[in-house]
Structure 1
Amino acid sequence: MSKPTLLILAAGMASRYGSLKQIDAFGPHGETIIDYSIYDAIKAGFGKVVFIIREEFLDKMREVFDAKLQGKIEVDYAFQSYDLTKFGIDKVIERSKPWGTAHAVMSAKEQVNEPFCVINADDFYGTDSFMKMAKFLTTEVSDDKMALMGFQVGNTMSDFGYVSRGVCEVDAEGHMESVTERTNIYYVDAEQGGRKIVYEEDAVQHDLDPETRVSMNFWGFTPKIFEVAEGMFHDFVAANADNPKSEFFIPSVPDYMVKKGMADFKVIPTSSKWFGVTYKEDKAIVQESISKLVAEGAYPEKLF
């Protein structure tokens, strides 16, 4: 089987962060969070990395990544745009933001022909996650068996505001029964002291167990996902043509496939503590966390 590909979602504008965090410096020699993900992916056996970006980011991304990755891993780029004709939709719809993460994945269908892993550009997942996913993608994956890395929601929170997570229902055998994108998860003070995790829906707060498995957009797919997502996207666009804030999220595709009996999704458990940069205030925490990992020998001081 060919080496799996790493697909990095890097087209977002980082409205809550305030700048282009995809290329912001976090490591001791100016390393980006993406650099650490690619380093882990190379170590785990991935053969190619595809950046999904806005076309206007291309020159800057190449300046940051191409030279240092040359000879280490194959690099390619895919563009997320507002042009729907690529997906067989002959309609122009005015929007102020792209169509969401599932649409971003679909944008790479011409660049990916092998099993692949999807990650966010601004999330630090750790070596364990890449090793486990690479093993799955080279020994278990098929069109009717895919996977996601299941983080504990309590290990994925920000102290500075709300986060979005794909909240999973998992059966006793570790298979996903459903996944629902929750876009407003945050801490509140608990009656007995301390704090608890809640998500908000229709202005109502719901408690969320800290050990609940959530998706951090760390998915293991085959190219079959492009075909399924494109069919769903046609329906999504038709239903949301007049809703400029609607987004077609990745979790909706696996959720649909599971409920239709099209595929089984294995939830690969990890106890790793995620860290990432949703807010500008998160940056210092991420830098400190990376410095600690470097001091412990988990990563070299200079990656590439």
Structure 2
Amino acid sequence: MVLPFNPFRIDWNDCTFAQWNALLNRCKRPTLLQTLPYAQALAKTEGWKADFGIIRFEDKPVGLVQVQTKRWLPFLTTCQIHRGPLWIHDEIPGEMLKLVLRMIRDRYHLLRGRPLVFHPEMIDGDVARKRLSDSGFHRRSAGYESVWLDLTPTPDDLRAGLDRKWRNKLVQAERSGLEVETDTSGRRFDWLMEKYLQDKMARNYKGPSPAFLRVLRELSADTAPPVQLTALREGRPVAGVFLVRHGVAATYQVGWNGEEGRRSRAHHLLLWRSALWLKANGITGFDLGGLNETTPGIARFKTGMGGQPFRLVGGYV
């Protein structure tokens, strides 16, 4: 059997950290889970090791994919890809994309002792599901849902794009007397992590551990340190958000709002100031964090900023 010509190749673990960061910075919609600090934080806190793949088309780099691996037995290594591959330009055409997917399928397979859990960065739909099925993958779970806020418009246009009720609550927050502290040094990081952990335990939802976020913050400090915005009432913190930057994008990672903060609409003010700060610091896209059916109020809050809701194609094996 003659295999079809494939102009793509994936060079595995053949790049420096600086080269990986440079390529990720060229991606239009980079994801946090494909970054070097994320891989390093997983290695330190959970023991995962990363394979770094540069996708090339006729020797030209066009994308990248990071695979997390953990060896359980000499002949069995669990592998996972979350929110990759990423593309330096627009996503490649469907039939060409399948060539890349098949290379990933061939390398990470149960028969090779490397079973893969694959959550690709592909918008859900019949076409995307068929491409994955044709490439040998089988769907097992629903995909990540979030809201993507384009930060390229002017601040006036961003404000005009807010939902009317959302904008009215923002005005209330702006008139409430709250101060907003913006910090990249981690000054109030411990305070926010304590509140986040208490809330996480009380409401029993999934999310990264404070230990992981601490390591991630430390590993990002010299390149693109995470930013924390805190709402203050007479010097006392009443609400806070923690955002992680990656390439030209950022992700809302953690937020907490106390009773006084809720009365003052503090989160509306913090998210709006976050968008302005990120835009002023060269960020062009803002992932507002995951949505789920169990928290419809949070979903309405995030979509009210005028972003574009999206759902990824899901988890595959």
Pairwise TM-score range, normalised by the shorter structure: under 0.3
Give the structure with the larger helix fraction. 2
Q: TM-score, normalised on structure 1?
A: 0.28
